[in-house]
A and B are shown apart, each in its own frame.
Chain A
Amino acid sequence: MKVGFYTRLAWSNLRKNRRLYLPSILTGAGMNAVFYIILTLAADERLGDVKGGQYLTDLMPLGTMVVGLLSFILVLYTNSFIIKQRKREFGLYHILGMEKRHVGHILFWETAISGVMAVAAGLLGGILLYKLCVLIICRILKVDSILGIYYVSLSTVAPAGIYFLGLYLITCVINRVSIARMKPIEMLQSPNTGEKEPKTKVLMLLVGVLTLTAGYGISIATKQPLQALTLFFLAVVLVIIGTYCLFVSGSIAVLKLLKGRHRFYYQKNHMIAVSGMLYRMKQNAAGLASISIMATMVLVMMSSTVSLYAGIEDTLESRYTHQVYLNAGYYVGDDYQKIPHDQLFDMMEQTAEEQNLTITYHGEQRYLGCAFGYENGEMLLQRTNEFTPDVVQCFFMTQEDYESLTGEQLNLNGKEIAIHSLPSNQRRSVDGFKLKENEFTCTRQLDSFPISMEEYSIVDCFGIVLSGEEEFQNIEQLQREAYGDHASEVMEQLVVDFSDRKAMENHYEDYFDALRDKIHLVAEADEHSNGGFGMSVNCYWDTKEYIYGLLGTLFFLGLILSFAFLFATALVIYYKQISEGYEDRNRFQIMRKVGMSEDETKDAIHTQIMLVFFLPLIVAAVHTAFALPILIRLMRVLLQSNVLLFLGCSAASFAVFALIYLVIYRMTAHTYYHIVS
């Protein structure tokens, strides 16, 4: 027999089994397209030059790994599913006189043709969609769109294509082996005859309840963002174990309980749905659990990346009460000589004038930021490298500086202090504290503090106003003695606002370049200087660019991975429905014969599909709801502390997800009806 014969047979088989093959080819193509796009985004040098674009190069390889792994699993899963469904057909070929190797040939060509189709369609789709993705990224990063000719890079087309062709080659080998191992009689026998009704596994049920409770408990009980970071993955693992255990044993326990309640059970839809689900739970529990977990992952990924991105403006507002924080100096020998703030400000004004800019505010900020151990109201001068819940971060400032920055009179004397405690702190109010022999008493709680402390909010942060320079120097001295080389420096910064924050966005780099030149001149003008000079600028616009680049890229990665996981979820659901459809067809035919009308059959089918379909969605919603507390704390580590915004984004993500899920449901339910009736 010639190759042409096998290819023709393979082609007609693909067409006959398109209900099985089409989704598999589409999935392969979809994953291949996503894979190509992510690879290309990381390699596209045009994007690397865009503001914030460098994060694409850093973060996209992570996405490549996830999508690559997911593709690997999906391609193997769809293949094994198809082989299982077609066993009888292969058995028939056998009876008709084909040898195993002939069946192997046919299967090889089927896999090869569908693989090449998937890769070709995927690469083409990827190349076409790439431009759209670039446009989306430019929007997300808030930069001008790069338009122009289609960007096709052979250096990414080749690896994407080769990787996927490799996957299909692996399935070819697997199929070859599994065909060789099959026995013709087994192939012909119809699957799942005489399945036993499953037994309730009490131990597993117990493990499931315990792990799930523990996972949920961790999420609710963890108050410290830093603990949240370490415990999050433990909670994830616990919940995954719990989900699998509960689906496998819990579902059976619940169904048996329902079955025991005769009044409920002996109603037509209940009876058919409950016994049908009980019967198939054994084989389907793991599938349903996987769908639930994938759905939860999509939800968590979507809500956190969306809210991080949506909260950027918020984060910037809370961190930048003013636009520019700056100091500058030069080296005289080994000593760093600060340029006095008056002089620095004169240079800034001069530069502003040259560039037609207006400075609307300027002030001075002087503070000491310092970490302590904390125990029973006592600040301990012990330096640890780790952030533990026992560490607190304090920002000290004199009464005088506080008044000049805020205009508020505090009238503190001696060891009296005023404290601002961050809303995210665990210890919300502090009456005072002890530091060595000094006992400070708090006479006033402050609602706000001129220095932004949010950056440190993974530990408790306190803004502390001291009565005067004497106390300030005292504390500075104490921490210098205790911490030695690691001691904190007193921060002295010039604080400046420009009139038009928006307009400065495009000018600020020119402005600070010009300022730097002036500082250079000052450094050179001093005959003692060795020519080295420095300028430290912490400004709103620079951070904005960085934060949009980082969180925007994360957001895009979240989107594209959510898309990939949705695709995977849809595929698993679709195949599950199809295989169940073939199993259920016989059952519903019998019920028709025994006296069930068409409408009643449809009703019963509907009830059953709904249960199987929406159970994972409900489980995912519950998982996500219980994940919210720990996610809110994790968000704080990532500088997003707007809880309402996060909840809103989670709700929106769920709505979008549920909508897409509903569409998948409609499509698969349609196929299911078609098979059953």
Chain B
Amino acid sequence: MTLLEVKGLKKIYTTRFGGNQVQALSNVNFSVEEGEYVAIMGESGSGKTTLLNMLAALDRPTSGQILLDGKELSSIGEKELAVFRRENLGFVFQEFNLLDTFSIKDNIFLPLVLSGTPVAEMERRLAPIARRLGLDQLLRKFPYEISGGQKQRVAVARALITNPKLILADEPTGALDSKSTDDLLRVFRDINAQGQTILMVTHSTRAASHANRILFIKDGEVYHQIYRGARTNEQLYQKISDTLTMLATGGEQA
């Protein structure tokens, strides 16, 4: 079943003074099936972040459609948008975005508290997630007391606790060392294996090599895509790496 469908997406920014127009996305089309693990790659300025912002409903497209579970994002009013995002999307950011005034537990609870979930229900949902992500011992601590890898796992827990249809991850490994990166990618594989759909934007070939499908964006369009097929992570890594070289040197489509 198709969970996310992006059709003819176009975004043009108008600079504040002078009226210069910058085209960030020209024509993006792709779809994500339920249970998929998709990575989006591309160089700086290729339009990755713009795409992600629009998928997250933080920004509105100039034209084109984004359908999440059959629902058109631009049809949702400004007021319901926050609720919609809270209930359907989970976010994982490069800088973790944990609140230093909240304990780990409260950070994970935040989206549920915003939705007005009863305390008992929050505790019920937290227990399995905390166990799965190895956060049991950390719940009472504060963000400044734990490592970067642990922080990112907390952010994943915060994204998962609302049972979102889709997790959007923006460079989730960008601020992590290699061991923490491996840890996190294993976590992503794990939750994907249990049926969670993930869409990850990344620079990192290694991160992308854990996904099932990789989309390449160049000059505001989906330029190329690779399916994992039967490849191992290492083989996929090599394939991605070759593709990136080709994209950078301007070779023909493989």
Interface residues of A (CB under 8 A from B): 193-197, 262-263, 266-268, 271, 275-276, 278-279, 587, 590-591, 593-600
Q: Interface size bucket, B side?
A: 20 to 34
Contact assessment for A594 and B116 in the assembled complex, using a CB-CB cutoff below 8 Å: no
Number of A-B contacts defined by CB within 8 Å: 72
Binds A, one of B95-103, B130-138, B214-222: B95-103
Given that A271-B106, A279-B100 are known contacts, is A597 also in contact with B79, CB under 8 Å in the complex?
yes
How distant is the Cα of A276 from the Cα of B110 in the complex, in angstroms?
A: 14
Q: How far is the CB of B222 from chain A (nearest CB, A)?
A: 25
Residues from chain B with Cβ under 8 Å of A596 in the complex: 82, 114
* Residue from the list A197, A267, A587, A593 in contact with B116, Cβ < 8 A: A267
CA distance A266 to B121 in the complex (A): 12
Q: How far is the CA of A596 from the CA of B97 in the complex (A)?
A: 14
B35 within 8 A of A: no
Measured between alpha carbons, how far is A600 from B113 in the docked complex, in Å? 12
- Within 8 Å of chain A (Cβ to Cβ): is B86? yes
0/1 interface trace, chain B 42-61, chain A, CB 8 Å (1 if under): 00000000000000001000
Q: Apart from A275-B99, A593-B58, A596-B114, what 18 extra A-B contacts exist at CB < 8 Å?
A: A193-B144, A194-B144, A196-B142, A197-B142, A266-B122, A267-B113, A268-B113, A587-B100, A590-B98, A591-B99, A594-B91, A594-B97, A594-B158, A595-B85, A595-B91, A596-B82, A597-B81, A597-B82
Complex Cα distance, B58 from A193, in Å, reads 28
Task: Give chain B residues whose Cβ lies under 8 Å from the Cβ of A194.
Answer: 100, 144
A595 engages B113 (CB within 8 Å): no
Q: Which of B81, B97, B122, B144 is in CB contact (< 8 Å) with A593?
A: B97
Q: Given A266-B122, A591-B110, A595-B114, are A275 and B82 also a contact pair (CB < 8 Å)?
A: no
**Chain A to chain B: the 10 pairs with minimum beta-carbon distance, closest first:** A597-B82, A194-B144, A595-B86, A279-B101, A275-B101, A590-B97, A262-B119, A595-B85, A266-B113, A268-B114
Q: Which secondary structure dominates chain B's binding surface?
A: helix
Cα(A86)–Cα(B93), bound, Å = 29
Task: Contact check, B99 vs A266: say whether CB atoms are below 8 A apart.
Answer: no
In chain B between 139 and 156, which residues have their CB closer than 8 angstroms to a CB of chain A?
A: 142, 144
Interface of A is mostly: helix
Of the residues A262, A595, A599, contact of B111 by C-beta under 8 Å: A595
When distances are taken between beta carbons in the complex, the residues of chain A under 8 Å from B101 are 275-276, 278-279, 587
Evaluate contact between A266 and B119: CB separation under 8 angstroms: yes
Cα of A147 to Cα of B142 in the assembled complex, Å: 68
Which A residue sits closest to B81, measured CB to CB?
A597
Are the C-beta atoms of A263 and B97 separated by less than 8 Å?
no
* Contact between A593 and B93, CB atoms less than 8 A apart: yes
Give 17 CB contacts A-B under 8 Å: A193-B100, A194-B100, A197-B142, A262-B119, A266-B109, A275-B99, A275-B102, A276-B101, A279-B100, A587-B99, A587-B100, A587-B101, A590-B97, A593-B91, A595-B86, A595-B91, A598-B82
Nearest CB to that of A193 among chain B residues? B144
B contact residues around A266 at 8 Å (CB): 109, 113, 119, 122
- Whose C-beta in chain A lies nearest to the C-beta of B170? A593
Q: Which residue of B lies closest to A267 (CB)?
A: B113
* CB of B248 closer than 8 Å to a CB of A: no
Q: Tell me if B83 counts as interface (CB < 8 A to partner A).
A: yes
Encoded as 1 (CB less than 8 Å from any A CB) or 0, chain B from 67 to 98 comes to: 00000000000110111011001010100011
> Which chain B residues have a beta carbon within 8 Å of chain A's beta carbons?
58, 78-79, 81-83, 85-86, 89, 91, 93, 97-102, 106, 109-111, 113-114, 116, 119, 122, 142, 144, 158
Task: Say whether B114 contacts A263, CB under 8 Å.
Answer: no
Q: Which of A262, A275, A587, A600 contacts B114 (CB 8 A)?
A: A600
Expressed in whole angstroms, the Cα–Cα distance for A599 and B83 within the complex equals 12
> In angstroms, how far is the closest chain A Cβ from the Cβ of B50?
16
Residue of A at shortest CB range from B162? A595
Task: Please measure, in the bound complex, the distance between the C-alpha atom of A644 and the C-alpha atom of B113, giving whole angstroms.
Answer: 50
Chain A residues whose C-beta falls within 8 Å of the C-beta of B111 in the assembled complex: 594-595
- Assess whether B82 is in contact with A600, with CB atoms less than 8 Å apart: yes
| Chain A proximity of B154: nearest CB distance (Å) | 12
**Separation of A89 and B144 alpha carbons in the complex (Å):** 25
Minimum Cβ distance to chain B for residue A499 (Å): 76
CA distance A366 to B185 in the complex (A): 105
Cα A196 to Cα B85 in complex, Å, equals 32
Expressed in whole angstroms, the Cα–Cα distance for A437 and B161 within the complex equals: 93
Residues of A within 8 A of B91 (CB): 593-595
CA distance in complex: A267, B89 (Å) = 21
A597 touches B144 (CB 8 A): no
Q: Are the CB atoms of A263 and B119 closer together than 8 Å?
A: yes
Question: How distant is B73 from chain A, measured CB to nearest CB, in Å?
Answer: 14
A591 to B102, CA, bound (A): 12
The CA of A596 and the CA of B91, in the complex, are separated in Å by 13
Closest chain A residue, CB of each to CB of B102: A275
> Within 8 Å CB of B116, what residues of A?
267-268
Chain A residues in 8 Å Cβ range of B110: 271, 591, 594
Q: In the assembly, what is the distance between CA of A194 and CA of B100, in Å?
A: 7
Considering the chains assembled together, what is the distance between the CA atoms of A590 and B86 in angstroms?
13
Pick the contact of A195: B79, B100, B119, B158 (CB < 8 A).
B100
- Contact of B99 (CB < 8 Å), options: A193, A278, A590, A595: A590
A258 CA / B196 CA spacing, docked (Å): 36
Contact (Cβ within 8 A) B97 A599: no
B58: which A residues are within 8 A, CB to CB? 593
Q: Considering the complex, give the chain B residue whose CB is closest to the CB of A584.
A: B101
Shortest A677–chain B CB gap in Å is 14
Tell me the smallest distance from the CB of A593 to a CB of chain B, in Å: 6
Contacts of B144 on A, CB cut-off 8 Å? 193-196
Set of chain A residues within 8 Å of B98, measured between Cβ atoms: 590
Q: Which residues of B lie under 8 Å from residue A271 when comparing CB positions?
A: 102, 106, 110, 113
Shortest CB-to-CB span from B59 to chain A, Å, is 13
Contact check, B82 vs A595: say whether CB atoms are below 8 A apart. yes
Contacts of A275 in B (CB 8 A): 99, 101-102, 106
A595, B97: Cα distance in complex, Å: 12
- A526 to B58 Cα, complex, angstroms: 108
* Distance of A303 from chain B, by nearest CB (Å): 39
A278's nearest neighbour on chain B, judged by CB, is B101
Bound complex: CA of A598 vs CA of B58, how far in Å? 12
Q: In angstroms, how far is the closest chain A Cβ from the Cβ of B153? A: 16
Contacts of B99 in A (CB 8 A): 275, 587, 590-591
Shortest B114–chain A CB gap in Å is 5
Report A-chain residues with C-beta under 8 Å of the C-beta of B113: 266-268, 271
A276 to B102 alpha-carbon distance, docked (Å): 8
Taken together as a complex, chains A and B put the C-alpha atoms of A193 and B93 apart, in Å, by 19
| Neighbouring A residues of B106 by C-beta, 8 Å | 271, 275
- For B102, what are the chain A residues with a Cβ–Cβ distance below 8 Å? 271, 275
Contacts of B79 in A (CB 8 A): 597, 599
Cα A596 to Cα B111 with chains together (Å): 8
Q: How far is the CA of A391 from the CA of B100 in the complex (A)?
A: 64
Task: Tell me the bound Cα distance from A565 to B193 in angstroms.
Answer: 65
| Chain A proximity of B115: nearest CB distance (Å) | 8
Q: Please, which residues of chain B bring their CB within 8 A of the CB of A268?
A: 113-114, 116
Complex formed: what's the CA distance from A271 to B114 in Å?
A: 10
**Most chain B beta carbons < 10 A, residue from A271, A595, A600:** A595
A27 CA / B152 CA spacing, docked (Å) = 46
Q: How far is the CB of B119 from chain A (nearest CB, A)?
A: 5
Bound: A326/B61 CA distance, A: 96
Considering the chains assembled together, what is the distance between the CA atoms of A599 and B122 in angstroms?
24
Residues of B within 8 A of A591 (CB): 99, 110, 114
A596 and B98 alpha carbons, distance in the complex (Å):
14
Q: How far is the CA of A181 from the CA of B201 in the complex (A)?
A: 45
Name the distance in Å between A197's Cβ and chain B's nearest Cβ: 6
* Distance of A195 Cα from B113 Cα, bound (Å): 24
Q: How far is the CA of A279 from the CA of B143 in the complex (A)?
A: 13
Q: What is the bound-complex CA distance between A669 and B97, given in angstroms?
A: 25
Chain B residue numbers with a CB within 8 Å of A594 are 86, 91, 97, 110-111, 114, 158
Residue of B nearest to A599 (CB): B79
